[in-house]
């Protein structure tokens, strides 16, 4: 076993490596979707997999997302572990019926006789200058669908770890990849990467005592940056990276909020009907008497995703997070 030193890697590289390792370890793992073969995917996450494992293990499909997911259901019925790629968030919508009416329900329908270990990779979110339909944050739809796991990495480590765990899961996992973090780099040791076990644990990315920022995916770096900036205002913010929206780690989140007494949920998805409502509501149910202020939300506006030239006005940034923190009724404190 050759030891390779820790070196900078992108999230894209870690994801690719997770797919590769999963395929190498388990011949039941099959990757398919639009352009994932020869091209290696439009984000190159599957680059080289067809060359290494053959066209059958990493296959280009016809251009039809319901067909892709529907075929994955059949393949999983026969014992394979399909990993499908939806090219962009909005292009997963044609497969919605297969997802909601079959993928999420098959295990339950058959009293466990027919589990569907399918991983559905969906690059999501904005911030990359994509034109319409290329920047949706669609996680609220999946969260509202019992039977699915919904996970999303925010770090290079987690990209590898969560994707391995997702593929290893005997349940369907909607694996949401924050597009704008694909090329974010971090030190990473590709020789001893580990799966995140079990799926469903949040992680405290930064310890703090004044208030908790609850976030996930593309907004984790935003919150960490906000937490640094907040020091100047005298706030010591804790940042919780949910990693998994389903299952939801009530324990970690509630423990943090009980400690800090204040919380802001930060995500890029639209606010109304978005994940933040659920998160704020459950935190409030669990921590009501510890709360000095209502749990606030910083989210994308309740609008169709903005065109590229206006997206910076739409996306929650450091300032908006700090504004929300400022509205956490600090008067009571002094």
Ligand X SMILES: Cc1ncc(C[n+]2csc(CCOP(=O)(O)OP(=O)(O)O)c2C)c(N)n1
By CB under 6 A, tell whether 94 contacts ligand X: yes
Active site residue: 30, 102, 134, 149, which one?
134
Specify the stretch interacting with ligand X by CB under 6 A; choose among 72-80, 87-95, 135-143, 149-157.
Answer: 87-95
Label residues 39-71 b or e (16+ Cβ within 10 Å = b): ebbebebbbebbeebeeebbbbbeeebeebbbb
Distance of alpha carbon 111 from alpha carbon 108, whole angstroms: 5
134 is catalytic: yes
Question: Residues 94, 68: contact at Cβ < 8 Å?
Answer: no
Question: Residues 117, 73: contact at Cβ < 8 Å?
Answer: no
* Maximum C-alpha span of the chain: 65
Question: Residues 104, 163: contact at Cβ < 8 Å?
Answer: no
Query: Pattern of binders to another protein over 186-215, x per CB under 8 A?
Result: ------------x-x---------------
DSSP state of 306: P
By CB under 8 A, tell whether 51 contacts another protein: no
Specify the stretch interacting with another protein by CB under 8 A; choose among 152-160, 222-230, 301-309, 325-333.
Answer: 301-309
Give the shortest CB-277-to-its own copies separation in angstroms: 3
By CB under 6 A, tell whether 87 contacts ligand X: yes
By CB under 6 A, tell whether 91 contacts ligand X: yes
Question: Residues 69, 120: contact at Cβ < 8 Å?
Answer: yes
By CB under 8 A, tell whether 61 contacts another protein: yes
* Tokens coding 265: 């949920």
Specify the stretch interacting with another protein by CB under 8 A; choose among 93-101, 160-168, 180-188, 219-227.
Answer: 93-101
Query: Which of 63, 77, 114, 310 lies at the binding interface for ligand X (CB under 6 A)?
Result: 63
Decide whether 6 or 39 has the Cβ nearer to another protein. 39
- Alpha-carbon distances, residue 156 vs 14, 28, 37, 261 (angstroms): 6, 25, 23, 30
Distance of alpha carbon 274 from alpha carbon 188, whole angstroms: 32
Give the shortest CB-200-to-ligand X separation in angstroms: 30
Sheet holding 149-151, edge to edge: 58-60, 29-33, 81-85, 119-124, 173-178, 149-151, 244-246
Query: Pattern of binders to another protein over 110-149, x per CB under 8 A?
Result: xxxxxx-------------xxxxxx-----------xx-x
Of 264-293, binders to another protein (CB under 8 A) are 272
Distance of alpha carbon 283 from alpha carbon 289, whole angstroms: 11
* Chain contacts with ligand X (rule: CB under 6 A): 34, 63, 87, 91, 94
* Chain contacts with its own copies (rule: CB under 8 A): 66, 90, 93-94, 96-97, 100-101, 104-105, 108-109, 132-133, 140-141, 143-147, 246, 248, 269-270, 272-282, 284-285, 288, 291, 293-297, 302-304
Which residues carry out catalysis? 134
């Amino acid at each position: 076993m050759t030891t390779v030193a820790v070196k900078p890697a992108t999230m894209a590289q870690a994801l690719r490596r997770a797919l590769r390792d999963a395929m190498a370890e388990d011949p039941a793992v099959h990757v398919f979707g639009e352009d994932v073969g020869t091209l290696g995917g439009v984000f190159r996450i599957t680059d080289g997999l067809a060359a290494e494992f053959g066209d059958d293990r990493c296959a280009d499909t016809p251009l039809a997302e319901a067909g892709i997911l529907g075929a994955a259901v059949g393949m999983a019925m026969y014992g394979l572990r399909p990993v499908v790629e939806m090219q962009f968030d909005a292009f997963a919508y044609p497969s919605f019926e297969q997802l909601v009416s079959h993928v999420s329900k098959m295990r339950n329908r058959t009293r466990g006789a027919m589990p569907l270990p399918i991983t559905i990779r969906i690059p999501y979110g904005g911030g990359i200058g994509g034109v319409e339909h290329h920047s949706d944050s669609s996680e609220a739809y999946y969260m509202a669908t019992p039977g699915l796991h919904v996970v999303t990495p925010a770090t290079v480590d987690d990209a590898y770890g969560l994707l391995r765990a997702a593929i290893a899961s005997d349940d369907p996992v909607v694996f949401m990849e924050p597009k704008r973090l694909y090329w974010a780099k971090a030190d990473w040791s590709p020789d001893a990467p580990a799966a995140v076990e079990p799926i469903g644990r949040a992680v405290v990315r930064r310890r703090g005592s004044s208030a908790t920022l609850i976030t996930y995916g593309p907004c984790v770096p935003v919150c960490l940056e906000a937490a640094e900036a907040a020091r100047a205002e005298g706030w010591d913010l804790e940042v919780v990276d949910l990693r998994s929206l389903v299952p939801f780690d009530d324990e970690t989140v509630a423990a943090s909020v009980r400690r800090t007494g204040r919380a802001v949920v930060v995500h890029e998805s639209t606010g109304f009907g978005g994940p933040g409502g659920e998160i704020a509501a459950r935190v409030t149910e669990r921590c009501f008497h510890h709360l000095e202020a209502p749990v606030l939300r910083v989210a994308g506006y309740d609008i169709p995703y903005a065109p590229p030239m206006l997206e910076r006005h739409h996306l929650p940034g450091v300032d908006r997070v700090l504004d929300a923190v400022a509205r956490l009724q600090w008067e009571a404190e002094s």
